[in-house]
Structure 1
């Protein structure tokens, strides 16, 4: 029979006052206990490529902070949240990388205006999400180009990269760090991402 569940669009840590909203990405600690009436969050996992079941020759082409989106849905205890993180698409990650490598480029408003004037106003590149703030630890920044089909153990090209009207940020996800269970049989001990 269906179970009634009260759902919330955000949660706030009692002591640290951190707020996690729906569609935010988070790093998770491993979950050791069964769900005993504690607050749960539903999420969709990102896989770190080296923890996928892809051939070794495919895995070697991914960057260290690259993750693979999946459609693997799960429910975990909110006490497992370790920190907030960000999963960017390839274009967003390129902008982030340039900002980190050439920080004074974006400190001068005239430089930003010059860059914007070079862009065609009708392109999807004008409309974008804000990048993570400079205070976010680089280890909490990931990017995603592909979707991993965990059942077929293969990569699908990320459909949102072909469709500028689709924002990959609106998909549910969460991120994992240290040792975290990705599915019922795989445990990881490296940062991996997913969105709540």
Structure 2
């Protein structure tokens, strides 16, 4: 199993699994969310070792992160620390943005798996949230999510409360234990606001 000195990186890398082979780098979602919600990734570590990145701004990687398109430097440092000539990346949700930014920097990415990427950002796909919500009006989880309103990017307590009612519609088809694990891991408002800053034109 590969070893890595995370103290020298500035970002914590959690190694999962005891299998041989090059590790797959895992980028969690949530912008700058702690990856505890991923659990053990259905024991994928028994097939291939996994290197799960804890972004800057999470409890195990203190500090203030940069916006998502500027985080490829940390990912490149992780690659070098792991001693990999090229990488395979598994990225979830908002983590797909970091993965694509890294790949676009001419990094040696061999394989890239994007899980639940934000389609309206990645492609020209129209946002269908309103239509989907309309089809499910009356369901408690939908009514709760709709009542939450736009995310409050000023108040930490309200931000966390909103996330708890917005999340359930996203995990309808998942098992109950997965729904519970979805709420593990902190997502700091200050850091999330920085990560999702929009780049200016030019």
TM-score by length of 1: 0.24
Higher share of residues assigned helix = 2
Q: Which is strand-richer, 1 or 2? A: 1
Task: Give the TM-score, by structure 2 length.
Answer: 0.24
Q: Which has the higher contact order (CA 8 A, sep 6+)?
A: 1
